[in-house]
């Protein structure tokens, strides 16, 4: 993401997910309605069909070693194959891609990958173990936005068909990290010829913004961070499933114009429509509504120097019981779901819907009475100039204010521009904060940040030692291998967080994607949004 850094803050990580800095509507040439002007083979491979996709760009580069913005990950997924991937929208189990198999050591420190034979780059040269080592070392050592994905990981060529990744500590999340398009494998010979190195002296970005050097189903035809990206099918793609569309045009378009374009056939995919916008799309279009991986939550400050009110555990209990979760879902619109815990519903370790907290007005009032705080008043901070999946934070803050008034807590709304709100959030100065968290990678280890002494825990003033049992459970989860055991550990962690932690998970807003009737195979993915190579045509 645009503001993501190697050691990024929780909001910085997510701010660039938001459609804030939108370019104006574009009047770029589009294909004919339905994107099926021809079915004859094109020079780029695939067929003569062209797919036009509208998105609100968050895009800086096409260089995998520097790419960590949402639109960039769509592009990267099409251009560069990774060692592992996910099947469709399922992020609970990594599956082979350039690696035909993988094995993790019992201590979780070593991941051994056997490379697939026969995979080739777009110039026809084979994908080798040397290419893998160079590519992963380059991401880690460039010190770019995605470098943190491989922090503490050493990459080595074991033999011509085997690569070993060794972590300093147990790293059960590594198989879930490797599918990220930022870890796409480069043609090392070609990249080195254009200034590529595995350190900060690398000068290959300019080249990679004009030409791709991957083994993916598409190649880069043109690239502009403010207008459009054009992909052409790779005629030498090694995979068994060839891309249907010979050309894919991804245009930077604000959401209102996205709706107009897809309705009149100027585009075939609109990625960034709000729940209200999709309610009135033209008949015949297809709408995909699914819960996003973003979890909106309340944070109650635990530092008594910041708030003697929210640091009172009975007040936190009252807030948790006093929120009308179903009312917030009504505001969020169709496709949204209540977040039963901090881990979103599609990830390993997510709580089942039945474990979500339910509103209990009587219980909330009793907790206020038991707190010993007379007429509690708190300030609720949130960013005033950001939206999430087309939703503003203001209506949610107002609804929470009304909910808590009913149970005896007065909430003063204190919206602020994100720069101001972010500063207080980073520095643990909020009494009550309304924020959201999206996964850096689709594995529950990313959510250990909510524990005492960790990134988000500290933003709530929840210091290490505040809950030793929970912290020990987190340490165990971080070092455990095996999905079944991990699932139970993260379930236990979230139950404890819901019982006594300073966070109140609220909702996962809907991700709304509209496509022409001619488009098939679309599945929302929490890492790369859409796999354009998986899209078909009727």
Same structural domain, 455 and 314: yes
Domain hosting 491: range is 295-508
15 and 149 together in one domain: yes
Distances from the Cα of 99 to the Cα of 184, 185, 339, 417, angstroms: 12, 11, 34, 45
Q: What is the DSSP letter of 469?
A: H
Position 420 in a domain? yes
| 503 strand-pairing partners | 299
Q: How confident is the model at residue 275 (pLDDT cuts 50, 70, 90)?
A: confident
Yes or no: say if 307 and 527 are a contact pair by the CB < 8 Å rule. Answer: no
Q: Under DSSP, is residue 126 helix (H, G, I), strand (E, B) or coil?
A: strand
Q: Which residues of 247-269 are buried (b: 16+ CB within 10 A; e: fewer)?
A: bbbbbbbbbebbbebbbebbbbb
**203 and 280 both lie in a single domain:** yes
285 and 310: one domain?
no
Contact, 436 vs 297, CB < 8 A?
yes
Indicate whether 39 pLDDT > 50.
Answer: no
CA torsion angle 208 61 439 12 (round to 10)? 150
- Same domain, residue pair 179 and 310: no
User: Is residue 3 domain-resident?
Assistant: no
Assess if residue 209 is contained within a domain: yes
Inter-residue contact 300 to 504 (CB < 8 Å):
yes
Q: Which of 468, 470, 451, 469 is CA-nearest to residue 460?
A: 451
CATH of the domain at 443: 3.10.105.10
* Residues 279 and 311 placed together within one structural domain of the fold: no
- Cα four-point dihedral sign 141, 144, 147, 152: positive
Same domain, residue pair 147 and 115: yes
Each residue of 287-325: pLDDT tens digit? 999 999 999 999 999 999 999 999 999 999 999 999 999
pTM of the model: 0.84
User: Which pLDDT tens digit goes with each residue over 143-162?
Assistant: 999 999 999 999 999 999 99
Q: Both 304 and 168 in a single domain?
A: no
Cα–Cα separations (whole angstroms), residue 257 to 22, 25, 31, 253, 493:
11, 6, 16, 6, 43
Residue 41: CB partners within 8 Å, gap ≥ 6?
47, 48, 246
Structural domain total, the chain: 2
Residue 458: pLDDT over 80: yes
Length of the chain: 538
- Give the pLDDT confidence of 86-142 residue by residue, as tens digits: 999 999 899 999 999 999 999 999 999 999 999 999 999 999 999 999 999 999 999
Query: Does residue 471 belong to any structural domain of this protein?
Result: yes
pLDDT at 321: 98
Tokens representing 141 are 């050592």
Whether residue 5 lies inside any domain: the answer is no
In a domain, 1, yes or no: no
- The region, left, alpha or beta by phi > 0 then psi within -120 to 50, assigned to residue 273 is beta
pLDDT at position 26 over 50: no
Rg over alpha carbons for the chain, rounded to the nearest Å, is 24
In a domain, 151, yes or no: yes
Buried/exposed code over 416-450 (b: 16+ C-beta within 10 A; e: otherwise)? eebeebbebbbebbbbbbbbbbbbbbbbbbbbbbb
Confidence class of residue 14 from pLDDT cuts 50, 70 and 90?
A: very low
Residues 455 and 330 in one domain: yes
CATH number for position 157: 3.40.190.10
Mean pLDDT of the chain: 90
Q: Which pair of structure tokens corresponds to residue 331?
A: 């505001």
- My answer on whether 191 and 73 are in the same domain is yes
Q: Is the domain of 285 the same as that of 419? A: no
167 lies in some domain? yes
The Cα angle at residue 239 between residues 36 and 521, in degrees rounded to 5: 45
What pLDDT, on the 0 to 100 scale, is given for residue 40? 38
Q: What is the dihedral of CA 37, 38, 39, 41, to 10 degrees?
A: -130
Residue 356 and residue 496 share a domain: yes
């Amino acid at each position: 993401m645009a503001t993501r850094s190697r050691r990024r803050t929780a909001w910085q990580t997510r701010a660039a997910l938001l459609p804030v800095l939108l370019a104006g509507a574009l009047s770029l040439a589009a294909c004919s309605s339905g994107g099926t002007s021809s079915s004859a083979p094109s020079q780029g491979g695939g067929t003569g069909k062209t797919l036009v996709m509208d998105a609100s760009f968050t895009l800086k580069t096409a260089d995998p070693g520097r790419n960590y913005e949402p639109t960039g990950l769509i592009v990267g997924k099409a251009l560069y194959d990774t060692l592992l991937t996910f099947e469709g929208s399922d992020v609970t189990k990594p599956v082979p891609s350039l690696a035909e198999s993988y094995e993790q050591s019992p201590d979780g420190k070593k991941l051994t990958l056997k490379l697939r034979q026969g995979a080739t780059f777009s110039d026809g040269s084979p994908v080798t173990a040397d290419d893998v080592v160079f590519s992963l070392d380059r991401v880690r050592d460039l010190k770019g936005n995605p470098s943190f994905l491989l922090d503490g990981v050493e990459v080595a060529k074991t033999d011509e068909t085997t690569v070993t990744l060794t972590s300093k500590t147990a790293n059960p999340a590594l198989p879930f990290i490797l599918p990220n398009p930022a870890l796409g494998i480069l043609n090392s010979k070609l990249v080195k010829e254009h200034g590529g190195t595995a350190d900060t002296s690398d000068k290959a970005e300019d080249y990679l913004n004009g030409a791709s050097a991957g083994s993916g189903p598409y190649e880069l035809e043109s690239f502009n961070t403010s207008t459009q990206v054009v992909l052409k099918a790779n005629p030498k793609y090694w995979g068994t499933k060839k891309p249907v569309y010979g050309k894919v045009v991804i245009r930077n378009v604000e959401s209102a114009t996205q709706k107009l374009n897809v309705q009149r056939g100027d585009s075939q995919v609109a990625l960034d429509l709000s729940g209200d916008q999709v309610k009135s799309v033209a008949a015949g279009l297809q709408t995909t509504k699914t819960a996003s991986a973003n979890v909106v939550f309340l944070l109650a400050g635990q530092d008594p120097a910041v708030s003697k009110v929210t640091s009172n555990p009975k007040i936190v209990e009252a807030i948790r019981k006093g929120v009308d979760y179903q009312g917030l879902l009504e505001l969020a619109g169709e496709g949204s779901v209540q977040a039963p815990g901090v881990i979103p519903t599609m990830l390993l370790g997510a709580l089942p819907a039945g474990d979500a907290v339910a509103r209990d007005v009587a219980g909330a009032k009793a907790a206020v009475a038991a707190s010993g705080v007379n007429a509690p008043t708190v300030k609720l901070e949130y960013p005033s100039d950001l939206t999430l999946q087309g939703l503003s934070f203001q209506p949610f803050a107002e609804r929470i204010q009304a909910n808590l008034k009913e149970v005896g807590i007065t909430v003063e709304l204190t919206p602020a521009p994100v720069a101001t709100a972010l500063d207080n959030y980073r520095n643990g100065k909020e009494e009550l904060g309304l924020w959201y968290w999206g996964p850096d990678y689709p594995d529950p280890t990313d959510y250990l940040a909510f524990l005492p002494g960790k990134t988000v825990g500290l933003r709530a003033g929840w210091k290490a030692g505040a809950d030793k049992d929970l912290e020990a459970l987190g340490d165990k989860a971080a070092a455990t291998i095996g999905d079944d055991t991990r699932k139970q550990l993260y379930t236990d962690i979230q139950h404890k967080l819901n019982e006594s932690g300073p966070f109140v998970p609220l909702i996962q807003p809907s991700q709304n994607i509209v496509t022409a009737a001619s488009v098939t195979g679309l599945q929302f993915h929490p890492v790369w949004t859409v796999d354009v190579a998986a899209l078909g045509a009727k």
